[in-house]
Amino acid sequence: MNKQIKFLLPESEIPQTWYNIAADLHQAPPPVLHPGTHQPITHADLAPLFPEAIIAQEVSMERNIAIPEPVREIYKQWRPSPLFRARRLERALDTPARIYYKYEGVSPAGSHKPNSAIAQAYYNKAEGVKLLVTETGAGQWGSSLAMACNFFGLDCKIFMVRVSYNQKPYRRALMETFGATVSASPSHETAVGCAMLAKDPDSTGSLGMAISEAVEVAAQNPDAKYALGSVLNHVLLHQTVIGQEALKQMEMAGDTADVIVACTGGGSNFAGIAFPFLGQVLRGERTGLRVVAVEPSACPSLTRGHYAYDYGDTAHLTPLTKMHTLGSTFVPPGFHAGGLRYHGMAPLVSQVVAEGLAEATTVSQLESFAAGVQFARAEGIVPAPEANHAVAGAIREALRCKEEGISRSILVNVSGHGHFDMQAYTDFMAGKLSNYDYPAEEIAMALAGLPQF
C-alpha cells in the first residue's frame, strides 16, 4: 500500500499544451453576442480589448493549444504544483475515503491565478501593448497580474472591489509592491464609477462594477488592453495545467479520482482541475466520475441563477454570454470570499453543469471557515476563504463515504493560501461572522433585468 503523502512531478512534466474542453463537448458552446446588436460577436468587436492571440484562443475549437516556452519558463518557479494525500484529515474525519488535494498556494501570488496572468501578459507584450487594466475581488487575480506585468515590463491598473479593498490591505500592498496602481471600485476615475457612486455613495462594489470600470479605461486607451482573471474561455484554458498535472500525479499515487471538488466563483480553478478529467469522460476513456462545484450560499449563481444570456458587467459594456447568472445588477453581501462574489459563472462551466457533466452545491460562510480551520489543523495549510468552500465540499463527500461505508478517492483543488486573509479567520474565531442566504425576492429582482430576446 502506497504510504506517500506528497506526489511531485519534475519540471519536464509541466504540460506542453493547454487543454480546450470545447473540442470534446457534444454540443458546440453557444455563441457570444454583441451587447448592442445582439448578433454574434466578431473579431473586430473584441480587438479593442484583447490581443490577437487571446481572441484566437477564446474562439478556438482545437483540443490542445501549445504553451509558449517563455510562459513555461516562468511556470517553472512553482509548477508542477504538489499533490498531497490528506492522511491526517482522513484520520480526523474517521473516513474510509482517500482524500487528495492539489495545492496551488505555492505560486508567488499564493493562488492558481498566475497560470493565466503570465500567459496574458506574455501575449499582450508580444503585440506591443503598454498597459493592462483589470479588476479583482479578493485580490488574488490582481496580485497575479501585477506580478506578470512586472515580469514582462507592462504597466498595470487594477480596480479592486471596494469591500475587498477595505478588508484586504495586505493584498493591495502586494499588488503595489509588484508595481500596480490600485483603486477601490466604484471609483471617481471613470464615468461608470461616478454614475454608480451617484446612485449609492456607500456602495461596497461588485466584480460586475469593477469590470465595467476596467473595460471603460482599456477601451479608451490605444496602448491598453483588458485582462480578465476568470469566466472567459481563454482563462479557463490556461488553468488546465492544474488538472493535467493532477492526472499524472494520481497515477503516481496508484489511484483514480472518483470525485473531484472545487470552489466556483467565476469558474477558473474549477475548470483548471476538472476539465482534463472531464475530457476523458467526454472521449469515452473513463466512466463513474462525479464532479462537484461548490459555491457560497450568499452568491449562488449555479444553484439559484438562470442559465441565460447576460452581460458580464454592471454597466453592460461587455458581450452577452450564455451562463448561469443572478443578473448583472446583482450586488452580493460583503462576505469574506471575495473571489466568489461574481454574479455569473463561466459559460463553459455553465454548459458542463447544464449538460449534467458536473453538479453544484452551496456552502455557508460558517461551514466554509469551520472546514478551513479543520483542514489547517490537520494538514498545516491555511486555505484562502474561497478554497475553504472546496474543502467543505470535500469533507461532506468524505463523511458521506463514512456513512455509506464506501472508500472513494476524493480530489480537491486547494486553489490558494489564506495568509492575506487572517482577519477573516480572526473574525471567525471571535464569532463575528454570520451566514447569509440571499433572499429569493432579491434574486428575483436581479433576474428580472436579464436581457430579453
Q: How confident is the model over 260-291, as pLDDT tens digits?
A: 999 999 999 999 999 999 999 999 999 999 99
Which of 59-68, 111-120, 201-210, 372-381 is the least confident region? Answer: 201-210
| 309 three-class SS | strand
- 173 and 289 together in one domain: no
Domain co-membership, 169 together with 57? yes
The distance from CA 270 to its chain's CA centroid, rounded to whole angstroms, is: 7
Task: For strands 259-263 and 83-85, give the pairing.
Answer: unpaired
> Could you tell me if 342 and 357 lie in one domain?
yes
Tens digits of per-residue pLDDT, 41-87? 999 999 999 999 999 999 999 999 999 999 999 999 999 999 999 99
> What gap in Å lies between CA 288 and CA 226, rounded to an integer?
40
Q: Give yes or no: residues 352 and 408 share one domain.
A: yes
Residue 3 belongs to some domain of the structure:
no
Label residues 2-38 b or e (16+ Cβ within 10 Å = b).
Answer: eeeeebebeeeebbeebbbbbebbeeebbebbebeee
Q: What is the mean pLDDT of residues 298-317?
A: 89
Please, which pLDDT band fits residue 173 given cuts at 50, 70 and 90? Answer: very high
Helix (H) or strand (E) holding 105, with range, is none
- My answer on whether omega of the bond before 80 falls inside 30° of 0, hence cis, is yes
Residues 41, 100 within the same domain: no
Instruction: Report yes or no on 7 lying in a domain.
Output: no
Number of domains in the chain: 2
Name residues whose C-beta falls within 8 Å of residue 220's C-beta, 6 or more positions apart in sequence: none
**Average pLDDT, stretch 90-97?**
98
Per-position DSSP letters for 46-98, written without gaps between them: HTTTS-HHHHHHHH---SEEEPPHHHHHHHTTT-SPPEEE-HHHHHHHT-S-E
Asked if residue 169 is part of any domain, the answer here is yes
CA distance 351 to 358: 9
Question: Lowest mean pLDDT: which of 77-91, 99-113, 138-152, 196-210?
Answer: 196-210
Looking at the structure, tell me whether residues 241 and 387 fall in a common domain: yes
Are 399 and 93 within 8 A, CB to CB? yes
Whichever domain contains 85, its CATH number is: 3.40.50.1100
B/e letters for 407-441, b = 16+ CB within 10 Å, e = fewer, are ebbbbbbbbbbbebbeebbeebeeeebeebebeee
- List the grid coordinates of 303: 444553484
Q: Say whether both 176 and 261 belong to one domain.
A: no
Residue 22 binned pLDDT confidence (cut-offs 50, 70, 90): very high
Query: Sign (positive/negative) of CA torsion 319, 324, 328, 332?
Result: negative
Please tell me whether residues 306 and 436 are part of one structural domain.
yes
Asked whether residue 142 falls in the same domain as residue 209, the answer is: yes
Q: Is residue 392 part of a domain?
A: yes
pLDDT tens digit sequence for 414-452: 999 999 989 899 999 999 998 987 778 888 887 888 888
298, 438 Cβ separation under 8 angstroms:
yes
| SS3 at position 324 | strand
Contact 154, 121 (CB under 8 A): yes
Considering the entire predicted model, what is its pTM? 0.95
Q: Which domain holds residue 432?
A: 80-110+234-447
Of the CA atoms within 13 Å of residue 158, those in its CB half-sphere come to: 32
Is the per-residue pLDDT at 334 higher than 60? no
Q: Is the Cβ–Cβ distance between 338 and 164 less than 8 Å?
A: yes
Which of helix, strand or coil describes residue 145? helix
Are residues 55 and 192 located together in one domain of the fold? yes
Is residue 325 pLDDT above 90, yes or no? yes
Q: Of 211, 196, 239, give the one whose Cα is nearest residue 15.
A: 239
pLDDT, average across residues 380-393: 97
| Most confident stretch, 25-39, 56-70, 201-215, 340-354 | 56-70
As a whole number of angstroms, the distance between CA 6 and CA 83 comes to 6
288 and 430, same structural domain?
yes
Report yes or no: 271 and 348 within 8 Å, Cβ to Cβ. yes
- Is residue 89 located within the same domain as residue 129? no
